[in-house]
């Protein structure tokens, strides 16, 4: 059976914040499968800020997208054809591929796995709290942040996809957690709905440094860094001796990589003997099953509140990405390819209906 693939490619490089004109939709034929490959009919895209860095012609941990190249993203799709013994038609596959209706994936693709989709969780959960956002928070805190019961934790971008899960994991692990956010409404969400101990609106406070001092008079044990920039600079002198900083993202610089914020306080890594480490969650493959099991159990039992905002249709993808990069979203930003894909909102309504 022949398939036509609709996909979104890079029309032009963004200057600062991305705009709709940077993207173009095209149609191409799906090639025949080679041995070991799997064809997915994609159901959900995970929209992540790190992709913004790949749209500039600068070096990153993944190569930049060429003009005319597919916009990369993590996809979850249903297997419609397979030449791989580990995948059967009807299975669900997940991999880092791109904004397209059909994806050919093969062993060696980043994040390539057969996802065990449970009937009692919505499909979108496997791209948010129970997917790589949740896994990133879990392994970042536990392995790279060496989280301990009683830690004083600062979670940046605490209303975002990774931060909203990470703050809750830290609370479930017996830590005190304060989150940084960009609005009073996000501050309300992370405290009232997600259960963090306090929130700092960095956009409205007179001094971020003074606010951190107020919430952490004795210093910070663990800072989970999603943002870099001025927030990281403010945090470094306020870490306790031998504090830990797992570095997940640098969203403050993604829209201006050619002129990034220049850190003034990096010498505090030496002064406070800080362990600061960047990480990519998929490199902690030995923790994948542990993380997925714990996250799914927490969501099922209501111990972890999963938040997401969902757009529908391939054509809606650039706008969803632009809204994410302009700070308009809360929780995990997702695109479902059609309206029949179940969401957390559907799941919650059914449970309480």
Which ranges of 193-316 would DSSP assign to H, the alpha helix? 208-215, 229-235, 251-254, 268-271, 288-301
Does an H or E element contain 171, and which?
Answer: helix 161-172
Q: Residues 133, 138, 141, CA angle at the centre, nearest 5°?
A: 120
pLDDT at 301: 92
DSSP class of residue 347 equals H
pLDDT at 158: 95
Query: Judging by beta carbons within 10 Å of its beta carbon (0-12, 13-18, 19+), is residue 223 exposed, middle or buried?
Result: buried
Which among 130, 113, 174, 141 is positioned nearest to 296, based on CA atoms?
A: 130
Decide if 284 contacts 80 (C-beta within 8 A): no
Which among 207, 132, 203, 140 is positioned nearest to 167, based on CA atoms?
A: 140
The mean predicted confidence, pLDDT, of the chain is: 91
Region 152-159: mean pLDDT is: 96
**Percent of the chain with pLDDT strictly greater than 70:** 96
Work out the end-to-end distance of the chain between its first and last CA atoms, rounded to an integer number of angstroms.
Answer: 41
Region 240-254: mean pLDDT is: 84
Decide if 86 contacts 74 (C-beta within 8 A): no
pTM for this prediction: 0.85
Q: What is the pLDDT of residues 131-150, one digit of tens each?
A: 889 999 999 999 999 999 99
Q: What is the pLDDT of residues 30-64, one digit of tens each?
A: 999 999 999 999 999 999 888 888 898 887 667 89
Query: Judging by beta carbons within 10 Å of its beta carbon (0-12, 13-18, 19+), is residue 172 exposed, middle or buried?
Result: middle
């Amino acid at each position: 059976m022949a398939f036509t693939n609709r996909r979104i490619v890079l029309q032009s490089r963004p200057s600062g914040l991305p705009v709709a004109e940077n993207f173009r939709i095209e149609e191409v034929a799906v090639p025949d499968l080679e041995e070991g490959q799997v064809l997915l009919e994609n159901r959900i895209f995970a929209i992540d800020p790190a992709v913004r860095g790949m749209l500039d012609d600068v070096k990153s941990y993944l190569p930049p997208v060429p003009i005319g190249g597919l916009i990369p993203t993590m996809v979850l799709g249903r297997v419609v054809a397979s030449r791989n013994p580990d995948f059967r038609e009807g299975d669900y596959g997940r991999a880092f591929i791109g904004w397209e209706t059909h994806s050919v994936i093969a062993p060696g693709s980043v994040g390539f796995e057969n996802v065990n989709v449970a009937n009692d969780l919505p499909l979108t959960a496997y791209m948010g709290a129970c997917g790589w956002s949740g896994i990133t928070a879990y392994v970042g805190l536990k392995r790279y942040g060496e989280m301990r019961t009683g830690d004083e934790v600062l979670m940046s971008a605490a209303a975002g996809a990774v931060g909203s899960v990470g703050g809750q994991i830290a609370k479930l692990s017996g830590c005190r957690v304060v989150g940084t956010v960009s609005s009073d409404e996000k501050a309300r969400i992370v405290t009232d709905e997600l259960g963090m101990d306090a929130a700092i609106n960095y956009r409205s406070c007179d001094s971020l440094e003074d606010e951190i001092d107020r919430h952490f008079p004795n210093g910070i044990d663990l800072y989970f860094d999603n943002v870099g920039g001025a927030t990281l600079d403010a945090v470094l002198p306020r870490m306790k001796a031998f504090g830990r900083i797992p570095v997940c993202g640098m969203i403050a610089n993604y829209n201006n990589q050619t002129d990034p914020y220049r850190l003034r306080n990096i010498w505090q890594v030496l002064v406070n003997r800080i362990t600061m480490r960047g990480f990519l969650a998929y490199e902690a493959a030995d923790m994948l099953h542990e993380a997925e099991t714990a996250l799914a159990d927490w969501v099922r039992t209501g111990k972890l509140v999963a938040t997401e905002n969902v757009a529908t249709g391939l054509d809606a993808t650039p706008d969803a990405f632009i809204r994410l990069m302009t700070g308009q979203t809360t929780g995990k930003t997702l695109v479902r390819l059609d309206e029949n894909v179940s969401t957390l909102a559907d799941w919650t309504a059914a449970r309480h209906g």
